[in-house]
A and B are shown apart, each in its own frame.
Chain A
Amino acid sequence: MNSTLKPVPWKLHLAVLAVAIAFPFVFPSNFMVNFGVLALFYAFIGQSWNIAGGFAGQLSFGHVAFFGVGAYASTILQIRFGFSPWVGLPAAAIAGALVGGIIAVLSFRAGLKGSYFALITLAFAEVLRIIANSVDITGGGLGMLIPMKPGAANFQFAERTGFYFLILALAAGSVALAEWLRRSRFGAQLAAIRENEDSAKALGINVFNEKVKVMLLSGAIGGMGGCFFAQYFLYIDPLIVFGTDKSVEMLLVSMIGGAGTVYGPLVGAVLLALVSDGTRALTQIQGLSLALYGALLVVIIAYLPNGLIDLFGRWRKPARGKR
C-alpha cells in the first residue's frame, strides 16, 4: 500500500541499512562506489521533494531552488569567507529552509495550490538562477571552483568511501525523517492536507502553518543536498545547481519509486543511477539516460501509478486483491 500512515517495520530499515553499509566493501571499485554515492545522493534530494510533494501533496517543479541556494551558501562561505564546509552544511540547510519558507509563505498566503504552486516554485528557481548568474559574489556564469584539498576536515575525502558514508548518513537521516512523518501527528496532518484541505481545516488543522513547516523541512534537506553536491564535484555554476533538470530528477526519483513512501526516493534513485551509469558505460550518446528514464516513467505511471515500491507491496501481500 502506498501513502499510508503505517510505519515501516524496523527489520526492513535495518536490512536496508546493512546492505547500504556493506555495499562499498563488497564492491570497492571506484566505479561502483561512485554509483553508490550518486544513488544515495539522488535518494537524499529526492526525499526533499518527497516530503513536500509526496507526503504533503505540495507538488513543486522548482525544488532545485533549495538545492542551488544550499550549494551557493556553503561554497560562498568557504571560498569568500574561509569557513569550513562543515559549517557550510548547516548553513546550507538554513539557507534552503529560508528559501522554502519564503516561497511557502508567499504562495500559500496567496492561496496558490496544485499546478499554480508548481509553477511558482519553477519561477522562483529560475529567478534564483538568473541572480546567481549576474551577481559578483557567486562568480556569475563562470561559477565557482572549490580547491582540491583532501582531508576530512575539508569535507573532502581521498577515498570515495568517505563521501559514500557521508551521503549514507544524510540519506539515512532523511529516511528517518520520512519514517517519523508516518508515525507522528505532523505526518498525519500532512496526509490529511494532501488528501483534502477542506476536511483538514474542518478538523482543526492549521493548513497554512503545516504547509509552511513542511516546506522549511524540505528546503533544509534540499540545501544540504546542494552542499554535498558542491563538495563532491568541486565545481558549481548557475546552470548546474539551479538547472530545471535537477528539479525534474528530484521529482522523478520520488514518483518512480513511490511518492509519499519512505523508500520511494531510494528505489527511484537506484534505478536512475543504474540507467544513467549503465547508458554512459555502454554508449556515448548524451542524454540517452534521461530519455530512457522518461520512457520508464511512462511505463511506471501507466502500470504502477503508486511507484515501483508498490511492486514490493503486491509481491508481499498478493491477497490484497484490487487496485
Chain B
Amino acid sequence: MLRVSGLSKVFGGLRAVDDASLQVDQGRIVALIGPNGAGKTTLFACIAGFQPINAGRVQFLGRDITGLPVHEIARAGMVRTFQITQPFAKLTVHENIAVGAYQKFPERHRAWEHARAIASQVGMEHMLEQPASELTVAGRKRLELARALATSPRLLLLDEVMAGLNPSEILEIIAIIRKIRDSGVTVLLIEHVMHAVMSLSDTIYVLSYGKIIAQGTPEEVVNNQAVVEAYLGRGSTLPQDDAKPGASHA
C-alpha cells in the first residue's frame, strides 16, 4: 500500500533521514520507533508531503506521490495526525471532525452525521459541543485522530497519539486503533509507549540517527542487538544475556 524507498532528508549539514526504506501492507498496523531525535516525525512529514525530500521515492496505492502537495496526498487517502496537536481551536469538537467529514461528504447533513458517527467511534460523543481549545491532552489527541479518520482515509499516519496520556487512556486508544484497523484502515504509527507498540503492531521499523536499523515483528525487534544499543548505548548488554531488558520501555 505504501512503499518508501531510499528517502533522504537533509537539513543544512544534518541528514535527518538517511536512505530510509519501508513498506506498509494493506490492513496492517506498522510502527515506527526510535530514540528521541531519530527523525521519525521528519520521516512522517516527508511521506505526507509536508517536507520536500532530497532523495528517494514515495509510492502510495501503486502511484508515485513523491513531491505531490499535501492536500492531494490526503485526498488520495493518506492522512496524518500531528504529534503536537493542531486542533481548530475555536471550533467545537463536532465542527472539527465535520471539517474532515466534509472532505468525504460535501453535503452538510451527511458530513455532520458522519462526524457524529466518527466521534462515537473514538469515544467523544459526549463532548461534541465543547470547543476544541477546552479539551484535555487526551481529548486533543483523540480529536486529532477523529478528524483524520473522518476523511475516510485508506492509510492513517499517527504521530504519537498516546504521548501524555495516562495508562487507562492508553488502553482505550489501543482499543480504538485496533477497531480502526479492523474497519479496513491501514495504520502507520510513531509511538514511544512500548507496550502499546508491542501489542498493536504487525511490523516494527526502528529508526536511529535517520537510518532504519532494524525491522521485523515485535519479537524480532526486541531481540535485536542494534536496537537495544540504539536505545541504551553500546555496552549496555552482555553478549550472553540475549538483550531482553531495555527494549520494553523508553
Name A residues whose Cβ lies closer than 8 Å to a Cβ of B.
2-5, 183-185, 188-189, 191-192, 195-196, 198-207, 322
Contacts and interface: CB of A to CB of B under 8 A. Distances in A.
Contacts of A205: 71, 99, 103
B148 interface: yes
7 contacts: A5-B91, A191-B91, A191-B99, A199-B87, A202-B48, A203-B148, A204-B151
B71 A204 contact: yes
A200 B87 CA distance: 10
Most chain B C-beta atoms within 10 Å of own C-beta, residue among A3, A5, A189, A191: A5
B97 to A, nearest CB: 10
Given A185-B108, A201-B74, A5 B98 contact: yes
Given A188-B98, A188-B99, A202 B88 contact: no
Interface stretch (B78-86, B184-192, B197-205, B207-215): B78-86
A196 B90 contact: no
A192 B88 contact: yes
A192 B74 contact: no
Interface residues of B, number: 32
Contacts of B98: 5, 188
Contact of A196 (B74, B87, B92, B107): B87
A192 B71 contact: no
Contacts of A202: 48, 50, 70, 74, 79-82, 86, 148
Contacts, number: 86
Interface of B: 48, 50, 69-71, 74-75, 79-82, 86-92, 95, 98-100, 102-103, 106-108, 111, 134, 147-148, 151
Given A188-B102, A191-B95, A201 B87 contact: no
Most chain B C-beta atoms within 10 Å of own C-beta, residue among A183, A184, A203: A203
Give the 6 A-B residue pairs with the shortest CB-CB distance, closest first: A204-B74, A195-B88, A201-B70, A199-B86, A185-B102, A204-B75
Contacts of A185: 102, 106-108, 111
Given A3-B91, A198-B86, A204-B71, 5 more contacts: A4-B91, A188-B102, A189-B99, A203-B103, A203-B148
A115 B111 CA distance: 33
A199 B70 CA distance: 10
A199 B147 contact: yes
A198 B81 CA distance: 10
Contacts of B86: 196, 198-199, 202
A207 B72 CA distance: 11
Given A185-B106, A196-B86, A198-B82, A203 B151 contact: yes
A201 B108 contact: no
Given A185-B111, A198-B82, A203 B99 contact: yes
A206 B72 CA distance: 8
B124 to A, nearest CB: 17
Contacts of B108: 183-185
A203 B79 CA distance: 6
Most chain A C-beta atoms within 10 Å of own C-beta, residue among B69, B103, B106: B103
B87 A2 contact: no
B80 A192 contact: no
Contacts of B111: 185, 188
Contacts of B148: 202-203
B138 to A, nearest CB: 18
A255 to B, nearest CB: 15
Nearest to B92: A4
Most chain B C-beta atoms within 10 Å of own C-beta, residue among A192, A204, A205: A204
A205 B100 CA distance: 9
Contacts of A184: 108
A182 B95 CA distance: 11
A189 B102 contact: yes
A202 B149 CA distance: 12
Contacts of B70: 201-202
